[in-house]
Amino acid sequence: MDRYADRFGSDLDREIIVLRKKDQDDLASIKPTVELISEASKNEMSLAEFLEAMGDSDFVGRVAEKTGVSVEKIDELDIESMKAFFEEADIDNSGSLDFDEFVNGIIQSFRSYDEDFTHFFTVVNGLLGQLPDDKTLAFIESDGFKLFETVGNDPNSADTESRGEFFTMVNELLVDLPDAVMKSFTESQDFDLYKLIASRYGG
């Protein structure tokens, strides 16, 4: 499981600074399920396997939890829509979906700006929890921590200005992450989300 967290940079099951968040497994906890679905390949799903998986409410529920896309939105897919989704998500045209293609497809197809930002807060929350202790204490005592608490109470409702201020603040804080944590983050799927948020709110 540690290698999954390293790969996707989404170890979201820890308490962060003063705020508590809903306990979550890391994003990659979906991956073992994706792997087990396929007998022919441990890393990919065929269209038939994908359709079968999407009929599994437990699987869909976990996908929703880890990607920030609601079960209701995912359940809106009918058979034809799922086939269209599969073809679009299959970036390398291999006829199967690997884990990255699957998760990216779900996020790009369904997650709204608000859901993106809410998930971004969760990712950042986890990263800030890995700052050196002195940096964490300095942040808690700073004026910026009030903004952090305000946004954290309801990221979905934060306005554009607040999101911009939050991103700018976070961008400055993350430079103090330990090198290993930064490397893991920049090589993870969550870094793509970070760049997306930067393009929207980074000024």
> What is the dihedral angle through the alpha carbons of 153, 154, 159, 162, rounded to the nearest 10 degrees?
30
Structure confidence by residue, pLDDT tens digits, 104-116: 888 777 778 888 8
- For residues 101 and 156, what is the distance between their CA atoms, to the nearest angstrom? 26
Q: Is the pTM of this model over 0.85?
A: no
Domain boundaries defined on the chain: 27-110, 112-201
Q: Which residues pair with 46 in a beta bridge?
A: 96
pLDDT of res. 122? 93
Question: DSSP H helical segments within 68-189, as ranges?
Answer: 71-75, 79-89, 99-110, 113-128, 133-140, 144-153, 160-173, 179-186
Comparing CA positions, the residue from 134, 128, 175 lying closest to residue 147 is 128
Q: Is residue 82 classed as helix, strand or coil in its secondary structure?
A: helix
Comparing CA positions, the residue from 15, 14, 19 lying closest to residue 149 is 19
Query: Which residues have a Cβ under 8 Å from the Cβ of 68 and sit 6 or more positions away?
Result: 107, 111, 115, 116, 118, 119, 122
Comparing CA positions, the residue from 110, 44, 121, 47 lying closest to residue 84 is 47
> DSSP label at 177?
S
Lowest mean pLDDT segment, chosen from 139-148, 160-169, 189-198: 189-198
**What average pLDDT does the structure give for the chain?**
78
Q: What is the CATH number that goes with domain 27-110?
A: 1.10.238.10
pLDDT band of 36, cuts 50, 70, 90: very low
pLDDT of res. 31? 52
